[in-house]
Amino acid sequence: MSVAVRIDDELYAQAKIKAEAEHRSIEGQIEYWAKVGRAALDNPDLPVSFIAESLMSMDEPREHATPFVPRSRLL
């Protein structure tokens, strides 16, 4: 479902720059920021960088994921 939303020109310009750098559409970039912001508000004790990385890993296809290996097995 698409809904038209008014966005400040400066926010749009920032989203355009980030979207190009991260290979997303401008709409996708703003949606990503909204998801990170919502998760950050829901989890104020977690660093935003952890939240962003967690959301990205959840979107990663399973066949591209690397299995978790505890440090104790690496030694």
Span 2-26, pLDDT tens digits: 888 899 999 999 999 999 999 999 9
Residues of the chain with pLDDT > 90, as a percent, come to 64
Phi-psi region of 26 (alpha: psi -120 to 50; beta: other; left: phi over 0): alpha
Q: Please, what is the average pLDDT of the chain?
A: 89
Contact 26, 12 (CB under 8 A): yes
CA angle (27, 33, 14) in 5-degree steps: 70
- Look up the pTM and report it: 0.72
- In tens, the pLDDT along 27-51 reads 999 999 999 999 999 999 999 999 9
